[in-house]
Amino acid sequence: DAKTTQPTSMDCAEGRAANLPCNHSTISGNEYVYWYRQIHSQGPQYIIHGLKNNETNEMASLIITEDRKSSTLILPHATLRDTAVYYCIVRYSGGGADGLTFGKGTHLIIQP
């Protein structure tokens, strides 16, 4: 699986959009971008994933650049409960049930 690079930490004001960047310059054509988050004292939780098109669900939006070398997770209206470590993971599409390879992630702190 391709390596990802994320900022160590970020702050965002409550109610504003939180934009979390991820660099994955070595991604290959059959690899998806996944995002998970981990709230303190809990296990990781799936957020969203995509291949090349932008994706949106009830939790977030995922914007993938045209060359697929980077992506941005957007939390449109951040709340205090969104404070967590966010992991960007690149994963082979045929990986199916394979384990996930986590990096250190971005610690997002939502400020009141």
Q: Which stretch binds other proteins (CB under 8 A): 10-18, 23-31, 61-69, 100-108?
A: 100-108
Cα 68 to Cα 64: distance, rounded to the nearest angstrom: 6
- Kindly write out the interface string for residues 32-61 of this chain, putting x where it contacts other proteins by CB under 8 A and - elsewhere: ---------xxxxxx--x------------
Question: Is 7 a binder of other proteins (CB under 8 A)?
Answer: no
List the interface residues with other proteins, window 56-95 (CB under 8 A). Answer: 85, 87, 95
Q: Tell the burial category of 42 from Cβ atoms under 10 Å away from its Cβ (0-12, 13-18, 19+).
A: exposed
Q: Are 100 and 34 in contact (CB under 8 A)?
A: yes
Smallest distance, other proteins to C-beta of residue 78, A: 22
DSSP per position, 14-74: TTSPEEEEEE-TT--TTEEEEEEEE-TTS--EEEEEESSS-EE-SS-EEEE-TTSSEEEEE
Cβ-based nearer residue to other proteins, 13 or 56 = 56
Cβ-based nearer residue to other proteins, 21 or 95 = 95
Cα 44 to Cα 60: distance, rounded to the nearest angstrom: 16
Smallest distance, other proteins to C-beta of residue 13, A: 25
Residues in contact with other proteins by the rule CB under 8 A: 41-46, 49, 85, 87, 95-105
